[in-house]
Amino acid sequence: MAPPHHTVYDGANQNGTVVELAAQEKLQRPDVLNADDFRRQGKQVIELIADYYGGISDYPVHPNVTPGFLRKLLPTEAPACPEPDAFTSALQDVRDIILPGLTHWQSPRHMAHFPASSSTVGALGEALAAGINVNPFTWAASPAGTELEMVVVDWLGKALHLPNSLLFAGGGGGTLLATTGEAILCAVVAARDQKLEQISVGRIGDLVVYCSDQTHFALVKSARIAGIRRDHCREIRTCRANMFALSPMDLHAAMKADVEAGLVPLFLCATVGTTKTAAVDPIGELCAVAAAHDVWVHVDAAYAGSALVCPEFRHVIDGAEAVDSFSMNAHKWLLVSNDCCAMWVKKPRTLIAALAVEQEVIMTDRASEGHDVVDYMDWNINLTRRFRALKLWLVLRCYGTDGLRDHIRSHVRIAEAFEKMVEADARFEVVTERMFSLVCFRLRSPEPDQSGSEETANALNRQLLEEVNAVTSGPYTSFANVGGIYMLRWAIGSTLTEERHVADAWKVVQERASAILCKMESINASRA
């Protein structure tokens, strides 16, 4: 039998004639799934990552680079053909020009953001999921992928002491998404469609969402995407006296005023662990206010949700039995690599009614007929989904809930120790009550009178932040401006952070503060 022929267009033929090439003459595809190459290259990657973990303290946490630096070092076009041993060469570029230009989130001196904690198991779970590379968007498309996700979200929910009503075991259910923003958007859309079915679609312009002025901007963004008017997002003011938590009384007043104006309260986003100060909204009291207006209540516990593995933090979600949905980021503080946001809902059918695909899906399976299977494409925005359940399942199996509790508690103890360090220096003050492992502090104004001292203190702390972050070997920190108070915030949670790293970082802050105050005294003396 003659070998098969493949019809191709010969671009060099000016007459545009079609020519045939024998199979043995066709262009060779790159061998991209060669098992031997994968073993060799995989070992190189593991060695690079291991070296990175071992030497991460040698890097400045935040690089001293300017925009465009990397584009100047790399070619303007991708290569047409790979160079010899291109993979090894590319890894060398990672070492030489990419790693030095990163902000190192795994650094033990990274205090600026809520943690993006990882682990060897979390990283390997990510690699395993990438290698298997399935798309569990329906049960039929990946039966084990779907069912593992169902199992693992119930495992996690039980480990976090969530109400049984949010778990599959209790009639609710959960899913794994990319981010908190995605979770909030899905919840807003479900709440919107449920409400409009009750009051008519034409009243979408009357819907109102509620949050505090400390709520993450993901809520406002999600509401806008869902069609809520910009001026119908109520950001209720908080105060220092209430530790910047959302007041149920103020929420009641806002909803009452909207109802009297002919508007329709729709959605409340309460937060457990706000970004700026880790404030905790009173879930039970807020649910009681929302229930009077049939408002959907979502709890955003992106950062602090991980702490719920510890029973001593269970009280921060008292009243959560009444919420409609709950989300947290396992990739922030629970040793799971980016990205892995877990979301639970009390009534999955409401979420599915808003997000389900009505057209017949290509991939179906007779085995699922007659069974109440979960098709996760109906639980979120995307159809293509990552196999996140695998890495979360591995982390839970390999570290156990006891190990995760020890991980969280170690950082809380370090934060407690740091809080005492700040309190021991009379020049500083802890601005808000420490929550979880976040400490918010500032340098006091040295002015003897109160006139203008707040402005002076704010200016001092802006300068302190800049100088601390400019120290190559020092910590990388951030700020929050809440209630007119400019403060430094240290979020302790990097997997590698130990008390010695915090003590060394605190010395840097003290030294820079001494230099700033000394300079300030000299200027004041010269003016006298």
Express each pLDDT in 362-413 by its tens digit.
Answer: 555 555 554 478 999 999 999 899 999 999 999 999 999 999 999 999 999 9
Radius of gyration, alpha carbons of the chain: 27
Say what the pTM is. 0.90
Cis peptide bond N-terminal to 339, omega within 30: yes
Instruction: Give the per-residue pLDDT at 523.
Output: 74
Per CATH, domain 401-527 is 3.90.1150.10: yes
Q: Among residues of the chain, what percentage have pLDDT more than 90?
A: 82
Which amino acid would we find at residue 324? D
Whether the per-residue pLDDT at 7 is higher than 50: the answer is no
Which one is predicted more confidently, 20 or 430?
Answer: 430
Q: Which of 425, 520, 442, 436 is nearest to 481 (CA)?
A: 442
d(CA 257, CA 233) in angstroms, rounded, equals: 14
Indicate the pLDDT class of residue 20, thresholds 50, 70 and 90.
low
Closest to 310 in 3D by CA, of 283, 277, 338, 333: 333
Asked whether residue 449 carries a pLDDT value surpassing 80, the answer given is: no
State the CB neighbour count (10 A cutoff) for residue 235.
16
pLDDT of residue 474: 83
Q: Which residue has the tokens 């979020």?
A: 491
**Predicted pLDDT at 496:** 93
Task: Say what the pLDDT of residue 145 is.
Answer: 96
Nearest to 113 by CA among 447, 378, 338: 338
DSSP secondary structure string, 137-187? SSTTT-HHHHHHHHHHHHHHHHHTT--GGGSGGGT-EEEEES-HHHHHHHH
**Mapped to the 3 state alphabet, what secondary structure does 153-166 carry?**
HHHHHHHCCCCHHH
Mean pLDDT of 443-452: 70
Give the sheet arrangement for strand 438-443, strand by strand: 428-430, 438-443, 485-491, 478-482
pLDDT of residue 448: 59
User: Are β-strands 18-22 and 428-430 bridged in parallel, bridged antiparallel, or unpaired?
Assistant: unpaired
- For the chain, the structural domain boundaries read 1-32+63-102, 142-357+374-387, 401-527
3-state secondary structure of 521: helix
pLDDT at 360: 61
pLDDT tens digits for 343-376?
A: 999 999 999 999 998 766 555 555 555 447 899 9
In degrees, rounded to 5, the angle at the alpha carbon of residue 88 between the alpha carbons of residues 82 and 90 is: 65
Token pair recorded at residue 471: 């120290």
pLDDT the model gives residue 330: 97
How far CA 217 is from CA of 69, 119, 211, 284, 350, in Å, comes to: 30, 29, 10, 23, 24
Q: CB of 341 within 8 A of CB of 181? A: no
Residues 136-180: tens digit of each pLDDT: 999 999 999 999 999 999 999 999 999 999 999 999 999 999 999
**Structure-block tokens of residue 12:** 């060099």
> 240-249, 417-426, 497-506, 517-526 — which is least confidently predicted?
517-526
The CATH number corresponding to 142-357+374-387 among 3.40.1260.10, 3.60.20.10, 2.60.40.60, 3.40.640.10 equals 3.40.640.10
The strand pair at 233-236 and 207-212 is best described as parallel
Number of Cβ within 10 Å of residue 268's Cβ equals 31
What's the rounded mean pLDDT across residues 197-208?
96
pLDDT confidence of residue 11: 45
How many of the other CB atoms lie within 10 Å of CB of 525? Answer: 8
**Which amino acid is it at 254?**
A
Which residues 6+ apart lie within 8 Å of 97 measured at CB? 70, 73, 74
The token duo for 197 is 């079915």
pLDDT at 31 (0 to 100)? 84
